[in-house]
Chain A
Amino acid sequence: MKILIIEDEKGLRESIEEYFMEAGNICETASNFEDAMSKVSLYSYDCILLDITIPGGSGIDILKFLKKNNNTDGILIISAKNSLDDRLEGLDLGADDYLVKPFHLSELRARVTAIIRRKTFNGSNQLEYNEINIDLLAKAVKVNDQPVKLTRKEYALLLYFLANKGKVVSKNAIAEHLWGDGMDLANNFDFIYSHIKNLRKKLIEAGSTDYIQAAYGMGYKFTSP
């Protein structure tokens, strides 16, 4: 996938770039308004990560420009402004999603993946990974064509892992993804463990390879062994 990162904060921009950089992905970056404008008007991307507050202008104007030109690029706003109005304005103007800083890279990745999936597979809602097949509309999971019954949270967890395959995903990121912002229930993430354990068990029992690995006690990694 081809991604444009419009973000003025160098540290953040580089991290995102690094996280998305892998075989088959192209990441471009822009750190100011003119740069961003010239890139979005010249090239097309699968997804544009758009910061609202950038030097030289507003991300909202870039968004307006894109929409005016019937650009079909996926747009994910990443902003420090967590005000409802901004969020609504962004989404009203045609952004696909809105992510508030600070965020976990795995969360960003999951959102971007979801946007691209929606854009690319118009109509087709099948997600495949080796022997695992997911029907995104029916929210049904099959392993080797055998249906696996997952709970809501386990299903969300599987999608999250698939979007971040090959990456170590921290427990914090998982907890925030599954329970949202309200999840400030201490640092006891033991209950995540039971979800992961159940998901693993169900997949393995259905004949799948054991993809989920614990990573040094601080997270998990979905990867082919």
Chain B
Amino acid sequence: MKLLTRYNRVNLLTTIIVIVVAGIIYYQVIGLILINQLEKDLVVEENEILEYVSLNHQLPQVFKSNDQQITFTEAQPGTVRREFINTIYRNYDNHKYAKRHHRRDEDDEEFESGRGLITSVIVGDKHYKVLIVESTVEAEDLIKIIFGITAGVILLLFFTLFITNRLLLNRLWQPFYDLLRELRLFNVTDSKEIPLEKTNIDEFEELNQAIIGMATRVKHDYKELKTFTENASHELLTPIAVINSKLDTLIQTDSFSLQQSKLLSDLYSGVSKLTRLNQSLLLLVKIENRLLESNDHIDLKLHIEDLLMQFEEIFLDKEIKVSSDLDEKELFASTYLMDILLNNLLSNAIRHNCAGGEIKIKLTSESLVIQNTGTPEELKHNQIFTRFHKSTESEGSGLGLTISRQICENLKFTLTYSYDTPYHTFVVNF
């Protein structure tokens, strides 16, 4: 859930609750005030009646009034208690009602809720119960209006919040999303800084600064590490060269026993592995540092055909069946890197193949697909491109695919792996 959505939800919910509560309180208070007003009217009427009675010693005539009804009924003395009641107001004068509903049946009797006052009056020696009723319809109308306004305010609130979120908040959060985008693009091997726009919001500015600081530190550490790798590999070259040359010299001397020659063979293979590992490390650093960039015109089809010819004997030796379907494809890239890439991919296809296996190569203008048989088991996608990851029986350096992927990255290609039984498939998309 987005922070904004979450914030809005909470915000809206509390606002609505507050508005509803306010509406209820409003309703109650206005209701009370109106009732109070009505009661005052009723008391005024009562006083008028009492005054009339005390002056004229007879009951006043009852008029049909717009919103007041007075009824007199005889009652036993002492049975009438003065009180206000909620009652029903019989509206005989349907003028208003009919007008409101465009009806003309004026004889209809209409019931409305009303507020009444029961009181007593004594005329001569007769006790009368007086009921004065006033319609509360006006008050209810008012309450309806209040309800309508409240609902309207809630709707308006929804609307305004929606609009502000859309326009204002999105704009407010823009620096955050910019930052997020830059972070996603962040590449530790890239030398360029994270381009961040200045913002006036303190929090974002602080975040920007923190991230720039972090990126700089990370890049610095990474650079140090890379320099170290490069230097270490370089320093190793000379001793390896010495070992190599000494071995070459050693085998020129005297004759060796079977055991000695076995030892020498193992030494040779150890040294050659060390050499390749070292060269791979150096190469990787160089590719990452983009020291090997050039823009040569490459006829990929020709290149692959040459390479296949080079590996011919190995295919024969391992009894690997090679089939290729090559379209014309020309591109501009570093020949050196392209050679390494093709070499690595093809070497892998050979190395991890089984005896009597198969290699299929397909070149189109969009992609190069190299498929090979081998262990009938899918490789782990997330691991095969990492450094020094290799299968247990592999004799390689564990850097081949890392280098291949790095080259692809440099050349703006993509290198992907998939497994469709029985082929391990590597695809270079140009």
Q: Which residues of A contact B (CB under 8 A)?
A: 9, 11-12, 15-16, 18-19, 80-85, 101-106, 153, 167-168, 170-173, 176, 179-182, 184-187, 190-191, 194-195, 215-219
Contacts and interface: CB of A to CB of B under 8 A. Distances in A.
A217 B264 CA distance: 10
A11 B245 contact: yes
B237 A170 contact: no
A146 to B, nearest CB: 26
Contacts of B396: 184, 186
A27 to B, nearest CB: 14
A12 B245 contact: yes
B107 interface: no
Contact of B244 (A18, A102, A167): A102
Given A185-B350, A191-B313, A216-B255, A83 B269 contact: no
A101 B237 contact: yes
Contacts of B291: 83-85
B255 A170 contact: no
Given A83-B292, A191-B316, 8 more contacts: A9-B238, A9-B242, A15-B248, A102-B243, A179-B314, A182-B347, A184-B396, A194-B317
A106 B248 CA distance: 8
A101 B252 contact: no
A19 B249 contact: yes
Nearest to A107: B248
B279 interface: yes
A100 to B, nearest CB: 8
A186 B240 contact: no
B241 A80 contact: yes
A181 B261 contact: no
Contact of B265 (A18, A195, A218): A218
A195 B317 CA distance: 11
Contacts of A168: 251-252
A185 B251 contact: no
A9 B314 contact: no
Determine the main DSSP class of A at the interface with B.
mixed
Interface string B272-301: 100110010010001000011010000000
B272 A172 contact: yes
A169 B336 CA distance: 28
Nearest to A218: B265
B268 to A, nearest CB: 5
B3 interface: no
Interface in B385-406: 395-397, 400
Most chain A CB within 10 A, of B258, B275, B292, B314, is at B275
Determine the main DSSP class of B at the interface with A.
helix
B166 interface: no
Contacts of B362: none
Contact of A170 (B240, B241, B248, B258): B248
A102 B308 CA distance: 27
B64 interface: no
A175 to B, nearest CB: 9
A105 B242 CA distance: 10
A10 B307 CA distance: 38
A15 B316 contact: no
A191 B251 contact: no
B220 interface: no
B234 interface: yes
Contacts of A190: 317
A82 B241 contact: no
A181 B316 CA distance: 20
Interface in B223-274: 234, 237-238, 240-249, 251-252, 255-256, 258, 260-262, 264-265, 268-269, 271-272
B244 A216 contact: no
Contact of A218 (B245, B264, B276): B264
B314 to A, nearest CB: 6
Nearest to A182: B343
A216 B261 contact: yes
Contacts of B276: 184
Contact of A172 (B237, B245, B269): B269
A171 B269 CA distance: 10
Contact of A15 (B242, B282, B351): B242
Contacts of A219: 251
Contacts of A173: 248
What are the nearest 7 A-B pairs in CB distance? A216-B261, A15-B245, A102-B241, A191-B317, A182-B343, A11-B242, A105-B248
A162 B310 CA distance: 22
Contacts of B238: 9, 12, 80, 101
Contact of B262 (A101, A172, A217): A217
Nearest to A195: B313
Given A172-B268, A173-B248, A12 B351 contact: no
A103 B244 contact: yes
Given A105-B248, A153-B313, A184-B397, A218 B261 contact: yes
Contacts of A106: 248
Contacts of B268: 170-172, 218
